Amino acid sequence: MWDPETYLAFDDLRARPFFDLVNRVRADRPRRVADLGCGPGNLTATLAKRWPDATLEAFDSSPEMVAAAREHGIDATVADVHDWRPAPDTDVIVTNAVLQWVPDHLALLPNWVSALPDGAWLALQVPGNFDAPSHVAIREVAASPRWRERLSAAGILDRQAVPDPAGYAAVLTAAGCRVDAWETTYLQPLTGEDPVLHWVTGTALRPVRDTLDDDEWQDFRADLAPILRAAYPRNPDGTTWLPFRRVFTVAHKPE
């Protein structure tokens, strides 16, 4: 279950990749803009401001996130990305930090492109931190004798890294698009007690939270916390630096 409040605790830092992504979309007057995995809707609202004349389509698989988006004034719905198909007038698709949760998402991209009208844009961003110390630590704790049986049954240990920019570029170029693909590692300044644990609680640890009961969840966090403290030490000024890699792709279907 997604917790919008926890996710939004770092809303400024989480928002920057979204704006870096959307700034590369050159659509002037799109008829329909679709936000796939809209989350709590705070960023979706900026799409409505940029393209006020467009029909805004937004959905998320989490009822909690959709409820939060509706509180932001977004007419969001609960839906699964696997079931979605672009409407004929969809000129822009944005999917921000969503497709890493969809293991077969590379197969979805060409299908979306083929359904888009000429001149449409597809913009995606995914975290590329599968091999970062934070995520390695999560997998190590999940694979420990205490947790392995519970968490392997939920498929948590089976998650694979997302492609690099070249991987996305290859798929979308083959689908007939002009592609702009890149990666950026943001150095996130975090503060407070166990800030990296708090950061991953809002995202990477969601499948763990969904699997464990309340007491188990607190025990898992207690096992993980000292490993993250050692991997990401606090500096004398109180700042903990978290390098966070993101992978971006913007594809334009020629007119």
Tens of pLDDT, residues 78-129 = 999 999 999 999 999 999 999 998 989 999 999 999 999 999 999 999 999 9
Tokens of 207: 């499948």
Tokens of 254: 């020629």
- Are the CB atoms for 99 and 248 separated by under 8 Å? no
d(CA 12, CA 182) in angstroms, rounded, equals 21
Give the pLDDT of residue 202.
80
Residue entry with tokens 């934070």: 134
Tens of pLDDT, residues 1-13 = 434 444 343 456 6
